[in-house]
Amino acid sequence: MAALTMFEKVWSAHEVVPETSDTPAILYIDLHLTHEVTSPQAFSVLRERGLPVRRLDRTLATMDHSTPTDHDQIFGGVPIRLESARKQVEQLERNTSEFGVELIGLQSPQRGIVHIIGPELGATQPGKTVVCGDSHTSTHGAFGALAFGIGTTEVGHVLATQCLLQRKPKTFSVEVQGRLGPGVTAKDLILAIIGRIGVSGGTGHVLEYRGEAIRAMSMEERMTVCNMSIEAGARAGMVAPDETTFAYLEGRPRAPAGELWERAVDTWRQLPSDPGARFDREVVLDAGHVEPMITYGTNPGMVLPLSGAIPSSGDEVFRKALRYMGFEPGEHVAGKAIDVVFVGSCTNARISDLRAAARVMDGRKVARRVRMLVVPGSQQVKKEAEAEGLDRIFVEAGAEWRESGCSMCLGMNGDTVGAGKYAVSTSNRNFEGRQGTGARTLLASPLTAAAAAVTGRVTDPREFLG
Amino acid sequence: MEPITQLRSRTVVMPSTNIDTDQIIPARFLTTTTREGLGKALFADWRYDAAGNPRPDFILNRPEAAGCQALVAGRNVGCGSSREHAPWALIDYGFRAVISTEIADIFRNNSLKNGLLPVTVDEETHAWLLAHPGTEIAIDLETCTVALADGREVSFPLEPFARYCLMNGVDELGFLLSRKEDIEHYERTHAK
Ligand code: SF4
């Protein structure tokens, strides 16, 4: 039999009808995650056409994007201040109760950013197809799932039929040899990968991250890497499941248990790409050469090692991006004074991310005039962090410790950076205005973000790690 | 969805590369629960100043942009978020086609599902279009070609099924629902 890639195995196991030259494949979806922002119009279509949700057991809703991170507006009986956000939250409550969809609601201890809670609950599993009306659905690929973002029309398709019409994407192997150095994180690696292949380098492809550096990573690190696959333009990113994956999943509320667990693991062991499987494209990187990275422009491909300088030449688009950022060609980003630090988002708000930031913050203070916001990725992460005392470290340093949600990753819930201000952010997009109108975003790892909080400047975190 | 076979329009040119969906429609406008009315917020941060007044130098605020239905954008347009609000906003504003050398995957999908034509052209044609803002073009789905004012006709790729749906106003949900038996069969044969 022909050697197959992991993607091909998962794809063919989900073909309800294979593609032909005239028609795309009908692809079956195992897990449909949905949230308040991209679902209302899809539920409206179901209502207009008198259709039910086909598989309630494969559909899970939560709210994260427009929800506030302020305690009182969630638990204190204070209404959500942004009226349009409040309406959207109420709409999801109405839609899910009308159609019978399970909702992890505003006050649920299981609530959090959709891409954090899927894995946390054990709902995300190897070999599954996972979709959500959100481009960072690629995160779930860390488990060897085929996971990708869809638009609202497609959310309606999945609600009504549990299927999508899809053309088969191409495959792209990203092999990372060697090991990351101390103080260099999964976030730095994925930024380096995007810097290398470009923000549209993965268009039309599913990436498979392979090699020693990926194998050595924890699940949380793999999620950080897969999360930003979309920033390279890719449909999805995948990592082959292995003992690390199984150890993470075992015992989670929605993971199979008992005999079913044994059987599931046996199937999952078959998933990794066969030796000799061919990819449409390949790139090889050496993890040992990756340094702490920081972005300087208005897309994640405009990225540098902290030791590097902004390129001194570029086209008009490049110059426009630098004008927006207030940077000069040839300048170093390291040493720049900053205004805001955001530790959060589906890229870097899991417990290991908060631990990393706390390690730098411990016994130190947030620099004067810097605002630091720490937003756990889920209520579960929040609880875990509080049990370890991480919240005390942040609060004593002068940071704000919030309820979970997307928060400052995108400016639609009341948390914004401010026009013209510089934010070192552990999120995934530095687009113009992403963190609020006029905000200037520098993407970096939790370590680098924490180091910037302490010094008030873009700083190499390795100085603090001794 | 209205069937569409041909589109004849003057072009608006926005040469920036990587125009992301956060520019097309910033996140703060996503707290809507309908599809309508997003045209006002299209390119909001480029189109209006802090006080909400139109910036006179932004292309969509110039008189020559009025009535144009084709947007010529720099490479990799529509990258970023999966928000379908991006094509909804473009359509609500009056656009029916987006032309570039590269169009991001999810945005392309979302556009097709709403009757906004994603037209990918070669570098040379793109360069010519960038250099001739306001030129009249004719897009024909029958032949999958764009006719330019200099007499050239260039072809562009379009997934056959998407093309069929566009030309016949077929909605994909109807198609999927019609394959109910296949879906049931799959569910029976693939135990959880
Ligand atoms: S944290 Fe940011 S990137 Fe992740 S789902 Fe929320 S808004 Fe999207």
Tell whether A433 lies on the interface with B, counting CB pairs under 8 A: yes
Q: Tell me, what's the pLDDT at A288?
A: 97
Tell whether B183 lies on the interface with A, counting CB pairs under 8 A: yes
Residues A436 and A308 in one domain: yes
- Verify whether the Cβ–Cβ distance A23 to B26 is below 8 Å: no
Give CA B8 to chain center in angstroms. 15
Q: Residue A282: give the domain boundaries.
A: 170-289
Amino acid at B42: L
**How is residue A328 written in tokens?**
């000069």
Give CA A190 to chain center in angstroms. 12
Residue nearest atom 2 of ligand 1, based on CA coordinates: A409
Residues A12 and A153 in one domain: yes
Residues A252 and A276 in one domain: yes
Tell whether B163 lies on the interface with A, counting CB pairs under 8 A: no
Q: Identify the domain boundary among A148, A166, A184.
A: A166
If you count residue pairs, one on A and one on B, with CB atoms under 8 Å apart, how many are there? 175
- Verify whether the Cβ–Cβ distance B33 to A88 is below 8 Å: yes
Does the residue B1 lie in any domain? no
DSSP letter for A35, please. E
Check which CATH number belongs to the domain holding B70 and give it.
3.20.19.10
**Residue ranges for chain A with pLDDT beneath 50:** none
Residues A304 and A350 in one domain: yes
CA angle B88, B91, B95 (to 5 degrees): 145
Cα distance between residue A411 and residue B82, in whole Å:
16
DSSP character string of B116-147 = -EEEE--HHHHHHHHHSTT-EEEEETTTTEEE
Residues of B in contact with A434 (CB under 8 A): 22, 27
Q: What is the mean pLDDT of residues B91-110?
A: 97
Q: Identify the domain boundary among A289, A306, A333.
A: A289
Q: Tell me, what's the pLDDT at B31?
A: 86
**With pLDDT > 90 as the criterion, what percentage of chain B qualifies?**
93
Is A346:A319 a contact under the CB 8 Å cutoff? no
How many angstroms does the Cα of residue A345 sit away from the middle of ligand 1? 6
Q: What is this model's ipTM?
A: 0.94
Residues with CB under 6 A from ligand 1: A 64-65, 113, 115, 134, 136, 345-346, 406, 409-410, 427-428
Does the residue B125 lie in any domain? yes
Cα distance between residue A368 and residue A453, in whole Å:
9
Give CA A171 to chain center in angstroms. 21
- Cα dihedral B3/B8/B13/B18 (nearest 10): 30
* CA diameter of chain B: 61
Residues A51 and A157 in one domain: yes
Residues A319 and A192 in one domain: no
**How is residue B121 written in tokens?**
């052209």
Q: Tell me, what's the pLDDT at B192?
A: 55
Query: Minimal Cα distance from A406: which residue of B?
Result: B27
Q: Tell me, what's the pLDDT at A314?
A: 84
Residues A61 and A128 in one domain: yes
How many domains does chain A divide into? 3
Q: Tell me, what's the pLDDT at A466?
A: 73
Return the residue matching tokens 């990725």: A377
Is A220:A190 a contact under the CB 8 Å cutoff? no
Residues A348 and A371 in one domain: yes
How many domains does chain B divide into? 1
Q: Tell me, what's the pLDDT at B2?
A: 84
Check which CATH number belongs to the domain holding A430 and give it.
3.30.499.10
Tell whether A204 lies on the interface with B, counting CB pairs under 8 A: yes
How many angstroms does the Cα of residue B78 sit away from the middle of ligand 1? 17
Q: Is 0.90 topped by the overall pTM? A: yes
**How is residue B61 written in tokens?**
């605020």
Q: What is the mean pLDDT of residues B178-183?
A: 97
Residues A75 and A54 in one domain: yes
Cα distance between residue B98 and residue A202, in whole Å:
21
Residues A183 and A238 in one domain: yes
pLDDT confidence band for B188 (50 / 70 / 90): very high
Q: Give the pLDDT confidence of B3-27 residue by residue, as tens digits.
A: 999 999 999 999 999 999 999 999 9
Cα distance between residue A359 and residue B56, in whole Å:
50
How many angstroms does the Cα of residue A77 sit away from the middle of ligand 1? 26
Residues A253 and A353 in one domain: no
How many angstroms does the Cα of residue A368 sit away from the middle of ligand 1? 28
Query: Minimal Cα distance from A201: which residue of B?
Result: B76
Residues of A in contact with B82 (CB under 8 A): 38, 133-135, 137, 149-151
Is B9:B146 a contact under the CB 8 Å cutoff? no
Q: Identify the domain boundary among A289, A313, A328.
A: A289
Mean pLDDT of chain B: 95
Interface of A with B in 380-409 (CB under 8 A): none
Check which CATH number belongs to the domain holding A247 and give it.
3.40.1060.10
What 3-state DSSP class applies to A161? helix
**How is residue B24 written in tokens?**
């097309």
Does the residue A1 lie in any domain? no
For residue B39, give the H/E element and its range: none
Residues A206 and A104 in one domain: no
B51's CB contacts (< 8 A; 6+ apart) are: none
Q: Residue B53: give the domain boundaries.
A: 6-189
A431's CB contacts (< 8 A; 6+ apart) are: A298, A299, A441, B20, B22, B23, B80
A326's CB contacts (< 8 A; 6+ apart) are: A420, A422, A440
Residues of A in contact with B84 (CB under 8 A): 38, 41, 133, 151-153
